[in-house]
Chain A
Amino acid sequence: MREPMSAEEVLKRLQEALGEAILSHEVREYTMGVRRKRTYRELWIEIDPEAFRKAVEVMFELDYPHLHFITGEDDGGDSLRMVYSFGLFWAIPWGELSVTMRFNLPKDNLVLPTITDLMPGAETNEREIREMLGVEFEGLKNKRHLFLPDDWPEGKYPWRKDEHGVEDMVKHTHRSVNEIRKMRGEE
């Protein structure tokens, strides 16, 4: 039986391994329940993208995590904000600790190491991020599109809000039936 660690202990281990690479951290508390109130905690950290792989490895040393999700945000600036969330000590009542890592990835170097060698199940997540945001994963074996069609144009990413987004592809999608009828010369 695995013993769950507290958010502070996990944070301490991460700090020991990563040092200065943890830019900021926060332990959030949420109280749940009505008659038997209990608090559970979440760890949110902001890291340097260089230390990403190391942080994941530390987590795999503590416990085989459950990958919650990988997502990213493009606000139109110079970098993408990546969010990775793992669940440690799952399968223990009230024990799961969700660790969410966030970091800014500069758009001129959108490369991240894959985690599929540690967890093969992360392939779907990485393929989705690759096609939606254009992040290249070093070491990812299957690089085919996941949701987008195989003939999707190169360099267009649906979640991007800069020139690599799909704005020019969808500018005609909101025409009304009346407009089309007029274009066709119908009444």
Chain B
Amino acid sequence: MAKTQYYVPVGPIHPALKEPIRVEAKVEGERIVEVDVKRGFAHRGIEYMGMKRNAIQTLYLSERICGICSISHPYAFVIGSEKALGIEAPPRAQYIRTIIAELERIHSHILWLGVVAHEMGFDSLLFWTWKGREKVLDILELLTGNRINYSVFMIGGVRRDIKESHVKALKDMINYYRIFTEEMKDVFLADPVYKARTRGVAQLSRDMAKKLNVCGPVARAAGLRMDVRQDNPYDAYADIGVRAVVPQDIVGEARGDAYDITMVRLYEIEQSLDIIEFCLEEMPEGKIMAIPNYVALLAKIRRSEGEAIGMHEAPRGEVIHYFKYGNKRDGPVVWKVIAPSYNNINTWAPLLLGAEVADIPIVVAYIDPCMCCNDRVAVVRDESGRLIDPATLHLKAVEKTRKLREELGVRA
């Protein structure tokens, strides 16, 4: 008897997917036989916006590309812009940038560990890891003034210094995370239930990882030793000599499944702590901005011409920005952004084929997808199919809130 095939759409709004993306799966029983991934549900055209603004405005716009790793895009932006414009950041600023980028890696990795535990149904683990993550967010707030969207990078330096008084708090934080990471390793890597749920799930071979052009922890878990901090070092990473964390160095073999990726992320937290420690010890003295005057900086950009590629190893993988300056503009003429999830989502379709419906959340979550990194034009139409502009949309939202308030009897 022929088996009936059913069509299971997951997303863009779905309890198993926290991001606006759609996985269309055709299933036979529990087994997925056909899969299609649709993206672009919230594309904001941010690159186009960037080409209409000056470079400093675009830098802070780039911070809004991603909501979690808000330093990754500005980092690639400043590296690329400095290469294109021929500006060199002062040594102290380079070290500060590295410290902030590594702090962000810690918080992003712990966040992912919580999310993946949640996808498996371990909600107590989610709350525990997220509680542990608070510490690093507090430190980021202390150093930059913000818990997210730090606005601390600048083309040719940073805007805030790390003062002597901050160092003790940073060292306390390092000690705290040394212990916390050990605890997390016990919980995640030694737990038989976690192991049973992740071993062999979402398994990516080395060859497939290469062909699908994946990057970041996903590639490293599959055994590829790729890491921008190692292959193309910049700032303080060039002094440190970072080595990519791969499972074969830890346990002897790389299987490229969800368990290996957990392992890679946990060891990377430790690596980040080492990097921060190194930077604190070796931090050079001096100024933190190459051109402190923004008007002078913009004037220099207007006079410059050049193109360059800026790369940064974000917690999720490589972030690549391509720039072209010129035409007497004070902003980029061309700006192209590649976020890590752009390539890593390629793994979903091959991995889901043949998997079970229950594996969808874990296959989706294991690459740490970030849709806001990818979707950078939202098109909204009314009942008659006409485009709705943002102002009308804003008015509609205000009207709806008023209506709701009236219905509920709540006064503004």
Which residues of chain A have a CB within 8 Å of any CB of chain B?
Answer: 30, 32-38, 40, 42, 64, 66-69, 71, 73, 83, 85, 87, 90-96, 98, 100, 119-124, 145-149, 158-159, 169, 172-177, 179-181
Contact = CB atoms under 8 A, between A and B. Distances in A.
A34 B94 contact: yes
17 contacts: A32-B234, A34-B236, A35-B284, A36-B238, A38-B233, A40-B232, A67-B213, A68-B309, A69-B336, A91-B225, A121-B343, A124-B342, A124-B346, A148-B43, A158-B48, A173-B390, A177-B391
Interface in B372-394: 374-375, 377, 379, 387, 389-392, 394
A158 to B, nearest CB: 7
Interface residues of B, number: 56
A40 B83 CA distance: 12
A64 B208 CA distance: 12
A73 B282 CA distance: 42
Nearest to A40: B232
Interface in B246-302: 282, 284
Contacts of A90: 226, 231
Contacts of B395: 177, 180-181
B226 A33 contact: no
A33 B309 contact: no
B168 interface: no
A133 B375 CA distance: 17
A145 B40 CA distance: 9
Contact of A93 (B213, B230, B239, B284): B230
A138 B363 CA distance: 31
Nearest to B321: A69
Contacts of A94: 231-233
A173 B386 CA distance: 12
A180 B382 CA distance: 15
A42 B236 CA distance: 20
Given A100-B309, A147-B43, A158 B377 contact: yes
A87 B215 CA distance: 12
Nearest to A85: B309
Contact of B39 (A33, A34, A147, A180): A147
A145 to B, nearest CB: 7
B336 A149 contact: no
Interface string B327-358: 00000011010100011011000000000000
Nearest to A35: B239
Contact of B226 (A37, A66, A158): A66
Given A30-B83, A34-B239, A66 B391 contact: no
B138 interface: no
A85 B391 CA distance: 39
A177 B393 CA distance: 10
Nearest to A150: B38
Contacts of A121: 211-214, 343, 346
Contacts of B309: 42, 68, 85, 98, 100
A120 B346 CA distance: 9
A93 B225 CA distance: 9
A145 B392 CA distance: 27
Contacts of B320: 68-69, 85
A73 B51 CA distance: 11
B328 to A, nearest CB: 14
